[in-house]
């Protein structure tokens, strides 16, 4: 069997899902084990159609649940080949057990997570609850803000995940519907360029090497479990960022598109900063420019790599900033918010500790409007002027009813 | 295609190169290791194996050791079948792409799981694997109880058995539900081969395993595994228990080909009363109290009825 190359225009109009599907095709993924769930379904449908049309060669295993999808991906990855799948929300939650198993076995798998709220109440729209649910799973987590980035970051994810010094699975996140179903111009790579950026899959400890049998998924108790987990954490902390940086640099040389572990916009002289992820970054960037026209030195910081958490890069990006709003798009479940806590932790031992306030927004796909962000920057500037946080530490944006604020 | 391994006699069989080592932590007298050896020794082909969480898994791959001289994976309790299915899909993909390191080999994909991991928590995963038609074999080590976690009932636990979550007591005779008929369920998936085997009937078992390895598609093997710890008998009596199980027809040995053609593969010369099978095990001890003796009679009737049904199915060829 063989497959045909696909002729792409330099710029295609793709939504985030199709961009990711095209990336899986160009990566020539060997096995996709998948289960449908809104809004990520079109990614694996795309792979299936490319297979049906002879534009990719591999096995599409349509399983009976997301748990089985990741289980099949684990078996396939351990066998020794390129593996990817996609999911969202409840499907992601069902996968969680196997996410830990995949990373614990050091298997390179790329999982496209089209972010969606977690029930109850049931909701198909985008927020970051599922992304946050994966944050302790030992995976690398990339966050894209647009279809272009969903496309590009898949290649970065394969390259880093499959690196023999890393051998950790990676998620590529995009916002449900806002990215996954919104068509935009996407600059493409031709098939050869895209594939060669990642290169052939290089097997390591592959079960299918019959002359060198391997044992995956052993039992370890108090005698060895801690060492395994510590080693995995060590590799996440020390090995992943250098590889990501190299991949970003190589990718920029190849395509001219530059990515950073932490993205900074208008941050050179910023007094007030919004820190967020996903599609909100673009909205915040627009508002920051408008605020600057009004004389407020506004900037935006976007998290590009959520795990490992870019502790040092965050400190660097926020150096000299006087007030920061940390935006969490996930029900905080009784804390100020996961990202708020991370940022507070990163900045606590720094000299110029900025005024920090947290905002919960956009749950279940609720819009974050420019007006919300104007108010937010205005509050930050008031904090700067007063020299202290003048608002409650945690506020809810855009929720009906009396203003909701805590702490 | 690979050749079917020729096995002359039990000595020849039991001394052929082991890919499952005796160095493991299973209880003395556990039938699991005997079953696994009989499965692996049935072929000389390469093996891709999995085990679901359970006795076999926790006793054979305790870091930094492994009892497996073949590639082996354990993911979780429910998904050992799908682990092997994923590996089988990768083998197919790489074969089609011309990227297999040893393309001339003919590996067998086999998942081992207990009855809990097969009848209960892993049921959906197995069903999915069989519906999709992966070229694999799922072997149940059926000891009718969650032995690894200390003897809780599963849907394979038979009526009257005392398990820790269905204990016999002052006012209870233990498990109230009859064992789930997994053979019928798996045959209904359209599996090309479904067989119930027992390691004491090793020739019968090897024949079934070799048949299962030769056919294309998902094969289901239900292997009776006497559990010295939870069935409560002396570890040296394992084979005697297996003999009682098969010869009392509590575990009739039969196969179902392509979901319809049923063949009884072992007919005991002297059928042993079910009572003898029950009497040999501590888990049924309470059934011999006067007030529960009617259950022993019901047991015998149930076993007779099943045997009658199997014979009718065999005759009818449907």
Using CA coordinates, name the residue in chain A closest to B80. Answer: A71
Please give the residue range of the domain that contains residue B94: 10-316
Name residues whose C-beta falls within 8 Å of residue B193's C-beta, 6 or more positions apart in sequence: B208, B211, B212, B215, B217, B219, B220, B255, B256, B257, B258
Per cent of chain B over pLDDT 70 is 99
Report whether pLDDT(A153) > 90.
yes
Label residue B14 by pLDDT band (50, 70, 90). confident
* Nearest-angstrom CA–CA distance, A158 and A24: 10
Name residues whose C-beta falls within 8 Å of residue A400's C-beta, 6 or more positions apart in sequence: none
* Nearest-angstrom CA–CA distance, A329 and A365: 9
- For chain B, what is the mean pLDDT? 96
- Please report, for the domain that includes residue B52, its CATH number: 3.40.50.970
Residue A46 pLDDT: 98
Partner-chain residue, chosen from A62, A213, A218, that has the shortest CB–CB distance to B71: A213
pLDDT in tens, A209-267: 999 999 999 999 999 999 999 999 999 999 999 999 999 999 999 999 999 999 999 99
Report whether pLDDT(B1) > 70.
no
Please tell me whether residue A295 adopts helix, strand or coil conformation. Answer: coil
Per cent of chain A over pLDDT 90 is 99
* Nearest-angstrom CA–CA distance, A291 and A288: 5
Domains A11-255 and A262-406 share a fold: yes
Give the distance from residue A202's alpha carbon to the nearest chain B alpha carbon, in angstroms: 11
Mutate to test the interface with A, among B59, B62, B94, B101 (most CBs of A within 10 A): B94
Assigned CATH class of A11-255: alpha beta
Give the distance from residue B82's alpha carbon to the nearest chain A alpha carbon, in angstroms: 5
The alpha-carbon radius of gyration of chain A (Å, integer) is: 21
Phi and psi of A26, rounded to 5°? -65, -30
- For chain A, what is the mean pLDDT? 97
B226, part of any domain: yes
Assigned CATH class of A262-406: alpha beta
CB atoms within 10 A of CB B296: 18
Mean pLDDT for B226-232 is 98
CB atoms within 10 A of CB B4: 16
- Joined together, the tokens standing for residue A303 give 């998290």
Dihedral sign, Cα of residue A4, residue A8, residue A13, residue A18: positive
Nearest CA to A381 out of A268, A270, A292, A272 is that of A272
Report whether pLDDT(B36) > 70.
yes
pLDDT in tens, A187-215: 999 999 999 999 999 999 999 999 999 99
Secondary structure of chain B as H, E, C letters: CCCCCCCCCHHHHHCCCCCECCCCCCCCCCCHHHHHHHHHCCCCCCEEEEECCCHHHHHHCECCCCCECCEEECCCCCCHHHHHHHHHHHHHHHHHCCCCCCCCCCCEEEEEEEHHHHHHCCHHHHHHHHHHCCCCEEEEEECCCECCCCCECCCCCCCCCCECCECEECCEECCCCCCCCHHHHHHHCCCCEEEEECCCCHHHHHHHHHHHHHCCCCEEEEEECCCHHHHHCCHHHHHHHHHHHHHCCCCCCEEEECCCEEEECCCCCCCCCHHHHHHCCHHHHHHHCHHHHHHHHHHHHHHHHHHHHHHHHHHHCC
Report whether pLDDT(B12) > 90.
no
How many Cα atoms within 13 Å fall on the side-chain side of residue B279?
11
Supply the DSSP symbol for A219. B
Indicate the domain borders of chain A.
11-255, 262-406
Q: Which of residues 53-72 of A touch B (CB under 8 A)?
A: 57-59, 61-65, 67-68, 71-72
Q: Is the peptide bond before A39 cis (omega within 30 degrees of 0)?
A: yes
* Nearest-angstrom CA–CA distance, B189 and B131: 6
Per cent of chain B over pLDDT 90 is 93
* DSSP H or E stretch at residue A84: strand A84-87
pLDDT in tens, A346-394: 999 999 889 999 999 999 999 999 999 999 999 999 999 999 999 999 9
Cβ of residue A74 closer than 8 Å to a chain B Cβ? yes
Mean pLDDT for B178-199 is 97
* Nearest-angstrom CA–CA distance, A276 and A143: 11
Q: Which of residues 93-122 of A touch B (CB under 8 A)?
A: 97-98, 101
Given a contact cutoff of 8 angstroms between Cβ atoms, the answer to whether A36 and A202 are in contact is no
CB atoms within 10 A of CB A381: 20
Q: Which residues on chain A are in Cβ contact (under 8 Å) with B82? A: 33, 63, 68, 71-72, 75
Give the distance from residue A200's alpha carbon to the nearest chain B alpha carbon, in angstroms: 10
Report whether pLDDT(B16) > 80.
no
Given a contact cutoff of 8 angstroms between Cβ atoms, the answer to whether A161 and A109 are in contact is yes
Name residues whose C-beta falls within 8 Å of residue A42's C-beta, 6 or more positions apart in sequence: A15, A17, A18, A21, A180
Q: Which residues on chain B are in Cβ contact (under 8 Å) with A74? A: 73, 75, 83, 86
Cβ of residue A218 closer than 8 Å to a chain B Cβ? yes
B312, part of any domain: yes
* Nearest-angstrom CA–CA distance, A167 and A182: 32
When divided into structural domains, chain B yields a total of: 1
Please tell me whether residue A154 adopts helix, strand or coil conformation. Answer: helix
B3, part of any domain: no
Give the distance from residue A281's alpha carbon to the nearest chain B alpha carbon, in angstroms: 38
pLDDT in tens, A45-76: 999 999 999 999 999 999 999 999 999 999 99
Residue A1 pLDDT: 56
B4, part of any domain: no
* Distances, alpha carbon B170 to alpha carbons A372, B174, B296, in Å: 68, 10, 18
Mean pLDDT for A139-168 is 98
Given a contact cutoff of 8 angstroms between Cβ atoms, the answer to whether A46 and A84 are in contact is no
* Nearest-angstrom CA–CA distance, A278 and A208: 39
Phi and psi of A33, rounded to 5°? -105, 125
Given a contact cutoff of 8 angstroms between Cβ atoms, the answer to whether A280 and A359 are in contact is no
Partner-chain residue, chosen from A62, A71, A211, that has the shortest CB–CB distance to B83: A71
Phi and psi of A222, rounded to 5°? -65, -15
How many Cα atoms within 13 Å fall on the side-chain side of residue A346?
21
Give the distance from residue B101's alpha carbon to the nearest chain A alpha carbon, in angstroms: 7
B129, part of any domain: yes
Mutate to test the interface with A, among B24, B73, B124 (most CBs of A within 10 A): B73
Nearest CA to A365 out of A87, A174, A93, A175 is that of A175
- Residue contact A224–B63, C-beta within 8 A: yes
- Residue contact B70–A217, C-beta within 8 A: no
Mutate to test the interface with B, among A57, A75, A105 (most CBs of B within 10 A): A75
What ipTM is given for this predicted complex?
0.97
B2, part of any domain: no
B292, part of any domain: yes
B1, part of any domain: no
- Residue contact A81–B90, C-beta within 8 A: yes
Nearest CA to B100 out of B91, B109, B108 is that of B91
């Amino acid at each position: 069997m063989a497959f045909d190359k696909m002729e792409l225009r330099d710029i295609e109009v793709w939504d985030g899902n199709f961009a990711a599907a095209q990336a899986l095709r160009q990566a020539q993924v060997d096995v996709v084990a998948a289960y449908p769930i809104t809004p990520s379904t079109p990614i694996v449908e795309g792979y299936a159609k490319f297979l049906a049309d002879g534009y990719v060669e591999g096995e599409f295993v349509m399983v009976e649940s997301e748990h089985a999808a990741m289980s099949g991906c684990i078996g396939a990855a351990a066998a020794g080949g390129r593996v990817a799948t996609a999911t969202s929300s409840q499907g992601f939650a069902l996968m969680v057990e196997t996410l830990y198993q995949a990373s614990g076995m050091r298997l390179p798998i790329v999982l496209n997570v089209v972010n969606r709220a977690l029930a109850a109440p049931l909701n198909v729209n985008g927020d970051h609850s599922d992304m946050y649910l994966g944050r302790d799973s030992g995976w690398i987590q990339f966050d894209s803000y647009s279809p272009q980035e969903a496309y590009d970051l898949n290649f970065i994810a394969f390259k880093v995940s499959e690196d023999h010094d890393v051998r950790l699975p990676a998620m590529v996140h995009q916002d449900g519907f806002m990215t996954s179903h919104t068509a935009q111009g996407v600059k493409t790579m031709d098939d050869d360029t895209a594939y060669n950026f990642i290169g052939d899959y290089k097997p390591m400890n592959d079960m299918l090497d019959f002359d060198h049998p391997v044992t995956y998924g052993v039992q370890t108790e108090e005698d060895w479990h801690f060492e395994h987990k510590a080693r995995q954490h060590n590799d996440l902390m020390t090995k992943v960022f250098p590889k990501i940086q190299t991949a970003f640099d190589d990718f920029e040389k190849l395509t001219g598109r530059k990515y950073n572990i932490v993205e900074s916009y208008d941050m050179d002289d910023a007094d007030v900063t919004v820190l967020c992820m996903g599609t909100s970054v673009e909205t915040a960037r627009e508002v920051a420019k408008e605020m600057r026209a009004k004389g407020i030195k506004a900037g935006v910081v976007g998290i590009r790599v959520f795990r490992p958490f870019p502790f040092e890069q965050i400190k660097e990006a926020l150096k000299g900033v006087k007030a920061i709003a940390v935006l969490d798009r996930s029900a905080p479940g009784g804390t100020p918010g996961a990202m708020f806590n991370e940022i507070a932790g990163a900045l606590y031992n720094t000299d110029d500790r900025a005024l920090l306030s947290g905002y919960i927004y956009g749950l279940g796909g609720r819009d974050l409007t420019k007006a919300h962000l104007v108010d937010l920057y205005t509050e930050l500037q008031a904090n700067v002027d007063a020299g202290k946080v003048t608002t409650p530490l945690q506020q809810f944006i855009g929720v009906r009813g009396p203003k909701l604020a805590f702490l | 295609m690979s050749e079917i391994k020729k096995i002359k006699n039990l000595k020849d069989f039991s001394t052929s190169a082991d890919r499952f080592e005796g160095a493991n932590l299973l209880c003395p007298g556990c039938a699991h290791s005997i079953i696994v050896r009989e499965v692996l020794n049935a072929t000389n082909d390469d093996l891709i194996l999995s085990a679901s969480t359970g006795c076999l898994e926790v006793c054979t791959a305790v870091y930094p050791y492994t009892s497996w001289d073949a590639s082996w994976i354990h993911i979780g309790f429910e998904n050992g079948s799908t682990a092997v299915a994923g590996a089988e899909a990768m083998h197919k993909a790489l074969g089609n792409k011309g990227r297999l390191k040893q393309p001339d080999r003919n590996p067998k994909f086999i998942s081992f799981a207990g009855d809990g991991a097969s009848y209960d928590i892993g049921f959906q995963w197995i069903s999915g694997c069989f519906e999709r038609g992966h070229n694999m074999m799922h072997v149940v080590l059926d000891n009718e109880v969650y032995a690894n976690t200390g003897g809780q009932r599963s849907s394979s636990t038979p009526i009257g058995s005392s398990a820790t979550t269905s204990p016999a007591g002052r006012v209870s005779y233990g498990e109230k539900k009859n064992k789930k008929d997994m053979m019928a369920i798996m045959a209904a998936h359209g599996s090309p081969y479904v067989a119930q085997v027992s390691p004491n009937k090793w020739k019968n078992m090897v024949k079934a395993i070799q048949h299962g390895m030769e056919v294309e598609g998902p094969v289901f093997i239900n292997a009776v595994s006497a559990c010295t710890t939870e069935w409560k008998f002396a570890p040296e009596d394992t084979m005697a228990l297996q003999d009682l199980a098969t010869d009392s027809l509590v575990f009739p040995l039969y196969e179902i080909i392509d979901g319809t053609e049923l063949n009884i593969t072992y007919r005991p010369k002297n059928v042993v009363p079910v009572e003898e099978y029950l009497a040999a095990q501590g888990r049924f001890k309470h059934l011999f109290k006067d007030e529960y003796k009617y259950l022993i009679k019901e047991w015998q009737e149930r076993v007779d009825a099943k045997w009658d049904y199997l014979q009718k199915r065999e005759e009818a060829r449907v």
